[in-house]
Amino acid sequence: EVQLVQSGTEVKKPGTTVKISCRVSGHTFIDYYIHWVRQAPGKGLEWVGLVDPEDHETIYAEKFQGRVTIIADRSADTAYMEVRSLTSEDTAVYYCASPGTPHVTRYFHHWGQGSLVTVSS
């Protein structure tokens, strides 16, 4: 069974940085892209970016370019997402997700449980 287990709730002040982890088990880590998707309170889903653990290639949604970094640690089967210069608009649940087919990334079959990030002064 594929499982994505995320780190816990974070409370951050505006202007600071948060780093969230996503540990993967149940399939070969380097064969499956890892995506990050966020959901602000009461709002819809928003794709943030992805990493290919095999070659560490990353792609980000345009609005997050330069403020978000996604990495994959192959030694720990864990992906990380760092968001810098936090504002209240970054308050959201952040999900990691992965496709069900190796080396293909179109849909999100497996999801983490979500990590709530609250940005407040």
Partner 1 sequence: DLQMTQSPSTVSASVGDRVTITCRASQNIGSWLAWYQQKPGKAPDLLISKASSLESGVPSRFSGSGSGTEFTLTISSLQPDDFATYYCQQYNSHAFTFGQGTNLEIK
Q: Which part of the chain contacts partner 1 (CB under 8 A), choosing from 19-27, 37-45, 68-76, 82-90? A: 37-45
38 binds partner 1 (CB under 8 A): no
For partner 1, which residue of 55, 62, 89, 121 counts as binding (CB under 8 A)? 62
DSSP for the chain?
Answer: --EEEE---EEE-TT--EEEEEEEESS-GGGS-EEEEEE-TT--EEEEEEE-TTT--EEE-GGGTTTEEEEEETTTTEEEEEE-S--GGG-EEEEEEE-SSTT--SS--EE---EEEEE--
Please give the distance of CA 34 from its chain centroid, rounded to a whole number. Answer: 7
| Residues touching partner 1, count (CB under 8 A) | 22
Q: Tell whether residue 44 is a contact of partner 1 (CB under 8 A).
A: yes
- Is residue 109 involved in binding partner 1 (CB under 8 A)? yes
Q: How far is the CB of 98 from partner 1 (least distance, A)?
A: 11
d(CA 76, CA 82): 17
**Does residue 103 bind partner 1 (CB under 8 A)?**
no
Binding of partner 1 by 54 (CB under 8 A): no
Tell me the sheet residues that pair with 12.
119
Residue 80 CB, nearest distance to partner 1 (Å)? 18
Site for partner 1, rule CB under 8 A = 35, 37, 44-47, 50, 59, 61-62, 95, 97, 100, 105-109, 111-114
